[in-house]
Chain A
Amino acid sequence: MTNHWIDIVNSDCILIMGSNAASNHPISFKYVTEAQRRGATLISVDPRYTQSSSKADIYAPLRSGTDIAFLGGMVKYIMDNKLYNEVYAANYTNACFLVSKEFKFKDGLFSGYSTLPEGHVKGKYDKSQWAFQMDENGVPKKDLTLKDSHCVFQLLKKHYSRYSTKIVSKITGTPEDLLEKVYKAYSATGATGKAGTSMYAMGWTQHTVGVQNIRCMAIIQLLLGNMGVAGGGINALRGESNVQGSTDHALLWHIWPGYLKTPRASNDSLASYLKKWTPKSNDPLSANWWQNTPKYMVSLLKSYFGDNAVLANDFGYNWMPKVDDDKDYSWMTLFDEMFKGAFKGFFAWGQNPACSSSNANKVRRAMANVDWMVNVNIFDNETGSFWHGPGMNPSTIKTEVFMLPCCVSVEKEGSIINSGRWMQWRYAGPKTLGNCKSDGDIILELMDKIKELYHEGGAFPEPIMNLKWDYMTDGLYDPHKVAKEINGYFQRDVTINNKLYKKGTLVPSFAFLQDDGSTSSANWLYCNSYTEKGNMSARKGTQDAPNNIGLYPEFAWTWPVNRRIIYNRASVDLSGQPWDKEHWVIKWDGSKWLGDVPDGGWPPMQNADGTPNPKSRYPFIMHKHGYAQIFGPSLNDGPFPEHYEPLECPVEANYMNPKQKMSPVAPVYGTEADPHSYREGVCDPRYPIVGTTYRVVEHWQTGLMTRPQPWLLELQPQVFVEMSEELAQLKGIDNGERVMVSTPRGTLECTAIVTKRFKPFKIGNNIVHEVGVPWHFGWRWPENGSEDSANLLTPPTGDANTRIPETKAFMCNVSKK
């Protein structure tokens, strides 16, 4: 979230699309309903009339996988009716940048496309044709009047001129009058002082066009001036209590802690890494924050290797593994490789891929191809026990499994960070039950044992032996020691701005980090979270800030540097005065900023007399040029979001782009375990129904933590398929009957739930039905093995940028058992 949960209350219009917050983030509705009470409009856009929809002022249905068409229509509406905040768009976004004259969009493709001979992806773009025009100083050329035909603003207008409500309705199935009603209500937040917010979740990410779904909303927010303001922002409702933290700390192949880039094979030294990944801006007004990359990278290496990391050995840079340039190592590729027999060993630590992975049958089969697996969990689960799951014969499965019991969160101490980036410290209540251990203890003890073996030699022992690993106190994992390491220490006495910082003291904030080895910080974003003033995440102060918008700056701690609303320097006009005088986030009093921690302390863009202030910096400091990106030239699938159909869809052609049905650059996996019903021109008649997956309040994720609990299981005991009365009648299915849902990947027995919440869509000239299955189930719990995962059905494809699987839109059939 760019903003945070409490801040929803400051909104004038809340768009819940791609999520069902009332069910899946129930406490958020405390703030949604309070905002409504104060006059805000709540809009719910969803294929199904959800609990969130039931509270909405406007509900609009749409077919799964058509969000860009829906939102693209809103961009057109905003442009046609001039509802944007022009000062904001011209000065804070790249709407004013001029784009290369080579940039074009034709027949469903952006310029620069070529097909690839092999691999999971059919083709790729040469992005050089999407570059910005540069002036003689190497600064992007701009037209602040937004009139130049090559400026982003005009290109945007042209691109979305095709998204009329007529064609959008034909694609999405949303009636035209409802589209206009939503567009009108939401676009009204473009007025000065008004704020609209977006609450989305996996309903937007789990698509071949997931990133572009979110980008399309970001474009709307930037046009309307809704980024950085109270009650605005782009708010990802994260589904796991610490998935923000686990991402910040880089449990992903492509990043290192604090969103540093994973070293590539071509970055053969620290210098070449830093040269490649440290962005340079020639614009003196651009803060270009990532220019600090060397400080953050060297400080991280100091945390990895402690005193063993010195200038002479590049701070241990080459001890760490590198990925090949331009290769993918993400989730679906990982299991594809495992299926093909690439791995001997596998850690499934605190995760249940046998139920959570798209096309889960492939994952279950893949696990039989590893020699050994380490599975750490609170409960026995479908992953660790895959070898005696449905359709498995243990006598033929070689995999050794070590299943280790970890404790639950209330039995240990440590921090998690919520969706609004609030880092909160938790304390241990009871001792660990039975012979359970905390994950922290298991990790430290296991690595100690591995280090012991490498004492006697082995392949390239340097990273293992040099790894700083002193996080125990009295033989037990000490979360405070790690939390302090994450914050970082001065490694020697350092004088900064005439002040001496002693060796061994905690670094006050990332502004103090150095690139010479004199500081450590295991994650620069968290530098300031545990300082000489104490553990900031443990704070419980309930005083609000003077602007009284629910920032609670002394409750917990947020990254970066306790800033509660990021991009907040865009919440003010050029002279530093807030767009919204009532719910102001920051404001300039002539000499300093008041309110939230500003996105950099530089003065406003203009002096009081209206002249430009050369000491200022553009507000979007994390972007090289300092401007928010309406035009995104670094994405794999185009600088503007474009409607493409899901891999499996109910239309013979993409009505927006008849020559390009699905994303031309999305990966599709192709082993014999990856069947799908994609056809160019025709749809597979065996799978005529759109399928999607979702969650219910009583269970969580694969259900592994909730299905073994008697109360919650009693509340939601069975996997179900929800369908419309019309479809049930067509199929002769009764409410409560057990039925079979099938796709080319698998078949799932479900209880039919016939409701008015799904309605057939009119798509083009056809009636299209959609059904939904919650993905919380698995065969291990309930113990009779009667239920299983909705992910047995989901497809072998994912987003063109992130490769998040497309589990929210696929084609299936439903039949009587």
Chain B
Amino acid sequence: MNVTRREFVQITGATAAGLAVSGLGFGLSPVKSHAQMLKTKYGKETTTVCCYCAVGCGAIVHTSKKGDGRLLNIEGDPDHVINRGALCAKGASLLQLCENQNRLLEPMYRAPYSHEWKQVSWEWSYEQIAKRVKETRDASFQHKNEKGQIVNRTMGIASVGSAAMDNEECWVYQAMVRALGLVYVEHQARI
């Protein structure tokens, strides 16, 4: 019997919990199938690709449709042709990357010579950063280099990052820093 994972979940969902599922080659314990039903009943299902190494393993993400709307579970996607449901230790812990009390949740600011962080707003951060970018860029902008060639760049700002961003984010990021005139633009691929 050839079934995809989704069909499998539908079949097991339709069958009473605890019933051995004939024709699939194995049975499900009552607890496991109950958990499956919780995920499908109360969870929104999306797919993702693991954010660690570059094998590109697929995973299924279940997010609660109720309450806090947070993750219920992340597991390997059996329909993904590369990993076929398998994940390594990191991939299997993906949920803990997201639902993690150590995450940074607010913009923070450290003033010169200060010993501490201060929580700030996004709006204030953008204003302050934009102001510094402009001041630095305007003061350091070179229209021409020492040889008199047109270079239209700033040597006062450097950037590193990031292979941790999506393709679309990488593209807009490089467009931004290049439009600002940065030439020191580097990231993980160089190290």
Known contacts A321-B153, A329-B184, A486-B168; is-contact A804 B51 (Cβ 8 Å): no
Residues of chain A contacted by B156 (CB below 8 angstroms) = 342-345
Q: Contact check, A804 vs B191: say whether CB atoms are below 8 A apart.
A: yes
Residues of chain B contacted by A646 (CB below 8 angstroms) = none
Q: Contact check, A246 vs B151: say whether CB atoms are below 8 A apart.
A: no
**Minimal beta-carbon separation of B78 from chain A (angstroms):** 11
A463 within 8 A of B: yes
**Minimal beta-carbon separation of B176 from chain A (angstroms):** 5
Q: How far is the CA of A417 from the CA of B57 in the complex (A)?
A: 11
Q: Contact check, A410 vs B167: say whether CB atoms are below 8 A apart.
A: no
Q: How far is the CA of A121 from the CA of B36 in the complex (A)?
A: 61
A397 within 8 A of B: yes
Closest partner residue, chain A, to B95 (CB atom)? A410
Name the contact of B131 in the complex, choosing from A240, A257, A447, A453 (C-beta under 8 A).
A453
Q: Contact check, A404 vs B125: say whether CB atoms are below 8 A apart.
A: yes
Name the contact of B155 in the complex, choosing from A342, A376, A550 (C-beta under 8 A).
A342
Residues of chain B contacted by A345 (CB below 8 angstroms) = 132-133, 136, 156-158
Known contacts A239-B54, A322-B151, A380-B104; is-contact A251 B189 (Cβ 8 Å): yes
Dominant secondary structure of chain B at its interface with chain A = mixed
Interface residues of B in 135-176 (CB under 8 A from A): 136-141, 143, 145, 147, 149-176
Name the contact of B127 in the complex, choosing from A30, A436, A449, A526 (C-beta under 8 A).
A449
Residues of chain B contacted by A387 (CB below 8 angstroms) = 110
Interface residues of A in 51-97 (CB under 8 A from B): none
A11 within 8 A of B: no
Q: Contact check, B162 vs A349: say whether CB atoms are below 8 A apart.
A: yes
A697 within 8 A of B: yes
Residues of chain A contacted by B84 (CB below 8 angstroms) = 30
Residues of chain B contacted by A114 (CB below 8 angstroms) = none
Known contacts A697-B88, A712-B90; is-contact A356 B188 (Cβ 8 Å): yes
Q: How far is the CA of A282 from the CA of B106 in the complex (A)?
A: 60
Residues of A in contact (CB 8 Å), total 160
Known contacts A435-B107, A452-B130, A458-B138; is-contact A805 B191 (Cβ 8 Å): yes
Q: Contact check, B191 vs A246: say whether CB atoms are below 8 A apart.
A: no
Stretch at the interface among A211-219, A285-293, A331-339: A331-339
Q: Contact check, B53 vs A240: say whether CB atoms are below 8 A apart.
A: yes
Q: Contact check, A5 vs B55: say whether CB atoms are below 8 A apart.
A: yes
B20 within 8 A of A: no
Residues of chain A contacted by B165 (CB below 8 angstroms) = 242, 246, 349-350, 439-440
**Minimal beta-carbon separation of B119 from chain A (angstroms):** 9
Q: How far is the CA of A701 from the CA of B164 in the complex (A)?
A: 11
Q: Contact check, B97 vs A705: say whether CB atoms are below 8 A apart.
A: yes
Known contacts A353-B160, A803-B190; is-contact A400 B110 (Cβ 8 Å): yes
Q: Contact check, A320 vs B152: say whether CB atoms are below 8 A apart.
A: yes
Q: Contact check, A439 vs B105: say whether CB atoms are below 8 A apart.
A: no
Known contacts A397-B113, A453-B134; is-contact A482 B191 (Cβ 8 Å): no
Stretch at the interface among A161-169, A423-431, A726-734: A423-431
Residues of chain A contacted by B64 (CB below 8 angstroms) = 430
Closest partner residue, chain B, to A269 (CB atom)? B150
Known contacts A5-B55, A400-B111; is-contact A330 B167 (Cβ 8 Å): no
Residues of chain A contacted by B114 (CB below 8 angstroms) = 394
Q: Contact check, B49 vs A426: say whether CB atoms are below 8 A apart.
A: yes
Q: How far is the CA of A453 from the CA of B187 in the complex (A)?
A: 28
**Minimal beta-carbon separation of B170 from chain A (angstroms):** 4
**Minimal beta-carbon separation of B49 from chain A (angstroms):** 5
Residues of chain A contacted by B174 (CB below 8 angstroms) = 249-251, 257
Q: How far is the CA of A247 from the CA of B190 in the complex (A)?
A: 9
Known contacts A241-B51, A424-B49, A460-B152; is-contact A711 B93 (Cβ 8 Å): yes
Q: How far is the CA of A331 from the CA of B185 in the complex (A)?
A: 8
B1 within 8 A of A: no
Name the contact of A346 in the complex, choosing from B69, B128, B157, B172 (C-beta under 8 A).
B157
Closest partner residue, chain A, to B147 (CB atom)? A265
Q: Contact check, B105 vs A403: say whether CB atoms are below 8 A apart.
A: no
Q: Contact check, B86 vs A27: say whether CB atoms are below 8 A apart.
A: yes
Q: Mark A390-427, 1 if CB is under 8 A from B, else 0.
A: 00001111111111110011111011111110111011
A138 within 8 A of B: no
Q: Contact check, B159 vs A244: say whether CB atoms are below 8 A apart.
A: no
Q: How far is the CA of A416 from the CA of B179 in the complex (A)?
A: 24
Q: Contact check, A348 vs B160: say whether CB atoms are below 8 A apart.
A: yes
Q: Mark A213-251, 1 if CB is under 8 A from B, else 0.
A: 000000000000000000000000111111111111111
Residues of chain A contacted by B54 (CB below 8 angstroms) = 25, 237-244, 418-419
Known contacts A347-B158, A397-B113, A449-B130; is-contact A240 B164 (Cβ 8 Å): yes
Q: How far is the CA of A439 from the CA of B161 in the complex (A)?
A: 11
Interface residues of B in 39-54 (CB under 8 A from A): 44, 46-54
Residues of chain A contacted by B161 (CB below 8 angstroms) = 251, 347-351, 376
Q: Contact check, A709 vs B191: say whether CB atoms are below 8 A apart.
A: no
5 sample A-B contacts, Cβ–Cβ < 8 Å, listed by A number? A415-B168, A433-B70, A434-B103, A482-B172, A712-B90
**Given pairs A445-B122, A542-B4, 9 additional interface contacts (CB within 8 A):** A251-B162, A343-B157, A350-B164, A376-B161, A400-B110, A400-B111, A416-B56, A428-B46, A479-B168
Closest 10 CB pairs of A and B: A350-B162, A434-B105, A418-B56, A414-B166, A349-B161, A321-B153, A482-B168, A238-B54, A419-B54, A243-B163
